[in-house]
Amino acid sequence: MCGIVGYVGQKQASEVLIEGLKRLEYRGYDSAGLCVCHGGRLNLVKTAGRISALEEKIAGDDTIVAGTIGIAHTRWATHGEPNEANAHPHLDGPGKIALVHNGIIENYVTLKKFLQDKGYEFRSDTDTEVLVHLVSEFSRGGEVALETAVQLALAEVSGTYGLVVISADEPDKLVAARRGSPLILGVGTDEYVIASDASAILEHTANVIYLNDNEMAVVSRDGVRTMTIDNVPVSKEIQQIEWSLEQIAKGNYEHFMLKEIMEQPQSASQAITGRLDLREMRVVLGGLTEISRELAKVRRIIITSCGTAWHAGLVGEFIFEELAKIPTEVEYASEFRYRNPIIEEGTCVIVISQSGETADTLAAVREAKEKGALTLGFVNVVGSTIARETDAGIYLHAGPEIGVASTKAFTSQIIVEILTALMLGRGRFMSQSTMEQYIRELDAIPEKITKILEQSDRIKEIARTYSERENWLFLGRGYHYPIALEGALKLKEISYIHAEGLPAAEMKHGPIALINDGMPVVFVAPRCETYEKVLGNIEEVRARKGKIICVATEGDTDIEKLADHVIYVPDAPVPLQPLLTVVPLQLLAYHAAVIRGCSVDKPRNLAKSVTVE
């Protein structure tokens, strides 16, 4: 979703800003813009479409090239279509103040009316434009310091923001503020980079300050001052970004998504490393030790999340009920908040998020805390808002995930659920021998994933056979129903093929009407207690001339008699099988998208991190 970069230092600002925007491209956007201050003037360039178009516009523009301070933005349209006028930065009337903003100004209609009555003219359909005019109003033509004008403006605003402001009257200063939308300040040598995502900062420095909600920073060439938006000074710690520049590069892969699928043996290992004690045969979760007493009292679990992380939650429902014997429900985060959820004593709310910034998921955390639940975060991005706001948590340690379609984070989310369930289960009823069996099996997972990845070329051929079919079904039962959902989601997201995921038996209650000659139907059918039933469902599809693609357990030659294609995965205990069965479906979606010529890493309309509700 929208991205922010701001720079002040010795370098040519436009280069740093464009480079930063490119690092944020993966988040999803549909227009871009940049503003550099030079010679007492703000120089603005905006465009609908890609950052490359912005670069072309800038090329040879001396007023832009000379500046060493500026702000830039990639916009993912909410209020107003993705055209040049709606792109950020937005300028005030006299062209003295420019602003970039992520988030939504909820009372913008009232503020717009107030400003229009005072004679302000609006040039865009965005909610953001009210902010720049408000700052302009409070700056009184430059008489009031920029940070004070920003504070006065923000006092009038309800909604969410991460924003950076620049003024031609104070050409060495950037003012940044945050409420509900992330902002990170990179502290380099003689330079500062402000960004909504650490990946835009890493090239310059790993030293960062994370702004909290209701905090702001005044950044000049001489240093940084941090305060609340009510002007109470706050001292902030400089922290280190854990990820390296190499990790956020594509390497030899054609797409980030493929790189991330292929990285799963390592990301799975990283989720396990240090957490499986193979000598003592126990699970050690450092992030949960401080709350072990509260955990012992947990009687009910609610998992809440969005998108792929919600599918991980659905797998978690099976895992927690089977391994820890704790009743578990799963809620879309966007629904959880508004249904007045019942939280009793002993309710633990587990929040799953790759980015740690998804607006709905964060709102769910706050709702759960408000109602007194113990909150746990299973998050990938270290230092993200959800990681900081939950009572305790476990990092996924999957490394940066850049491809919009989530892959390696999903397998790591399931691993972290298994580890937590094993720890909770062992504290209740699970025998040490059962625990040891799971520990050994979990330890073997990375190698098993490697075996599946070796079949990528075969899976590509299956994808090629059906890549022109516009409707697919994905079916599974029990633990494999969420995997069917995830397989369908992956295909939809990146190849724009319509796909539906269903519990296999539900097919008979409607979707079977869709099956016609040659329709691809993917069955997630490893050996488990529902295997025989799934064979029956396969027969039903065969009888209607659907084409059957099965994900099955190695050695299951019987299924070959029924299926048109079989992709084999190694055997594993049922709760661990989703870690394996999802991998061929990720590859199937990836190859189908590439064959169809789709933009795999930046699918249309999607955002990597959805920071608006």
Give the residues lining the site for ligand G6P (CB under 6 A): 306-309, 353-355, 358, 361, 404-406, 606, 608-610
Comparing CB distances to ligand G6P, the nearer of 378 and 523 is 378
Comparing CB distances to ligand G6P, the nearer of 138 and 481 is 481
Cβ at position 241, least distance to ligand G6P in Å: 17
Cβ at position 28, least distance to ligand G6P in Å: 8
Cβ at position 286, least distance to ligand G6P in Å: 22
Cβ at position 361, least distance to ligand G6P in Å: 5
Q: Is 101:134 a contact under the CB 8 Å cutoff?
A: no
Instruction: Assign 141 to helix, strand or coil.
Output: helix
Residue where the block lists tokens 């959805």: 610
Cβ at position 307, least distance to ligand G6P in Å: 3
CA distance 194 to 62: 24
Cβ at position 160, least distance to ligand G6P in Å: 16
Q: Is 125:86 a contact under the CB 8 Å cutoff?
A: yes
9: buried, middle or exposed (CB in 10 Å: 19+, 13-18, 0-12)? middle
CA distance 502 to 494: 19
Comparing CB distances to ligand G6P, the nearer of 292 and 605 is 605
Comparing CB distances to ligand G6P, the nearer of 100 and 607 is 607
Q: Is 608 a catalytic residue?
A: yes
Annotate 34-71 with DSSP letters as a single string: EEEEETTEEEEEEEES-HHHHHHHHTT-HHHHT-SEEE
Annotate 235-248 with DSSP letters as a single string: ----EE----TGGG
Which of these, 253, 99, 114, lies nearest to 168 by C-alpha position? 99
Q: Is 2 a catalytic residue?
A: yes
| 596 phi/psi in degrees, rounded to 5 | -85, 0
Task: Choose, from 46, 448, 547, 608, the residue flagged as catalytic.
Answer: 608
Q: Is 49:31 a contact under the CB 8 Å cutoff?
A: yes
CA distance 356 to 362: 8
140: buried, middle or exposed (CB in 10 Å: 19+, 13-18, 0-12)? exposed
Cβ at position 399, least distance to ligand G6P in Å: 14
Comparing CB distances to ligand G6P, the nearer of 36 and 416 is 416
By beta carbon distance, the residue nearest ligand G6P is 307
Comparing CB distances to ligand G6P, the nearer of 170 and 601 is 601
| 5 phi/psi in degrees, rounded to 5 | -135, 140
Instruction: Assign 513 to helix, strand or coil.
Output: helix
Task: Choose, from 2, 35, 348, 528, the residue flagged as catalytic.
Answer: 2
Cα end-to-end distance, the chain, whole Å: 12
Comparing CB distances to ligand G6P, the nearer of 43 and 354 is 354
CB atoms within 10 A of CB 293: 7
Annotate 246-261 with DSSP letters as a single string: GGGS-TT-S-HHHHHH
511: buried, middle or exposed (CB in 10 Å: 19+, 13-18, 0-12)? middle
Q: Which helix (H) or strand (E) holds 386?
A: helix 385-389
Comparing CB distances to ligand G6P, the nearer of 295 and 362 is 362
CA distance 75 to 602: 14
CA distance 541 to 538: 5
Cβ at position 353, least distance to ligand G6P in Å: 3
Cβ at position 26, least distance to ligand G6P in Å: 10
Side chain identity, residue 607: A
Instruction: Assign 503 to helix, strand or coil.
Output: strand
Comparing CB distances to ligand G6P, the nearer of 226 and 385 is 385
Catalytic residue list: 2, 608
